[in-house]
């Protein structure tokens, strides 16, 4: 009987974790959840921030990566006035293809950089944001790129292959 309880607990532990994994680079500090809608957020002392959140995006609705990338571009450029400086194809650590949109925007006449990366996996949309004052952002770019490369939106585990494909528990 004890054995069954242990197995059930193991499954629950896996299922309760975040459905993604991201590493925090040295120099960044992960922030506690502040009911901001982000599932992960880390900052440097100067305020260069990287965040990650997950939204439902059932694949049967037909919205693919291009759809979301285009939606984000329209929202940021037309509605919010951000300049699209670059759009790159990226791949997460688990091999999922994503799109990174690199924007620029002046905040009070000071140039800022803002990246939005989207991945579609597990019937979900993973949104990775990074932003900061352009000069500081440039300084922290290697760390930000390292963090982006550490992102996993699909995790495999020999313990529970079915559940693990829907979660990337962090313990």
Min dist. Cβ of residue 36 to another protein (A): 8
Q: Tell me the β-bridge partners of 128.
A: 52, 117
Q: Rule CB under 8 A: which residues touch another protein?
A: 31, 36-37, 43, 47, 49, 51, 53, 55, 71-72, 74-85, 103-107, 109, 111-112, 114, 116, 127, 129, 131-132
Residue 154 token pair: 């699909």
Span between the terminal Cα atoms of the chain, in Å: 25
Q: Work out whether the CA dihedral 8, 35, 25, 97 comes out positive or negative.
A: positive
Min dist. Cβ of residue 111 to another protein (A): 5
Residue pair 76/85 in contact by the 8 Å Cβ criterion: no
Min dist. Cβ of residue 97 to another protein (A): 20
Say how many C-beta atoms besides its own lie within 10 A of residue 53's C-beta. Answer: 16
Residue pair 91/98 in contact by the 8 Å Cβ criterion: yes
Pick between residue 31 and residue 163 the one whose CB is nearest to another protein. 31
Pick between residue 2 and residue 109 the one whose CB is nearest to another protein. 109
Pick between residue 68 and residue 169 the one whose CB is nearest to another protein. 68
Min dist. Cβ of residue 150 to another protein (A): 19
């Amino acid at each position: 009987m004890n054995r069954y309880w242990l197995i059930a607990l193991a499954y629950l532990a896996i299922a309760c974790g975040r459905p993604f994994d991201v590493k925090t680079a040295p120099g960044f500090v992960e922030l506690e959840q502040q009911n901001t809608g982000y599932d992960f957020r880390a900052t440097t002392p100067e305020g260069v921030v990287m965040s990650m959140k997950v939204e439902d995006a059932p694949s049967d609705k037909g919205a693919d990566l291009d759809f979301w990338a285009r939606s984000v571009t329209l929202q940021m450029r037309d509605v919010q006035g951000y300049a699209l400086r670059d759009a790159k194809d990226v791949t997460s650590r688990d091999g999922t293809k994503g799109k990174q949109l690199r924007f620029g925007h002046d905040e009070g006449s000071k140039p800022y950089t803002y990246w939005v990366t989207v991945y579609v996996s597990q019937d979900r949309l993973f949104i990775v944001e990074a932003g900061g004052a352009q000069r500081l952002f440039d300084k922290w770019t290697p760390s930000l790129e390292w963090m982006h490369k550490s992102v996993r939106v699909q995790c495999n585990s020999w313990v529970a292959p079915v559940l693990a494909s829907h979660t990337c528990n962090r313990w």
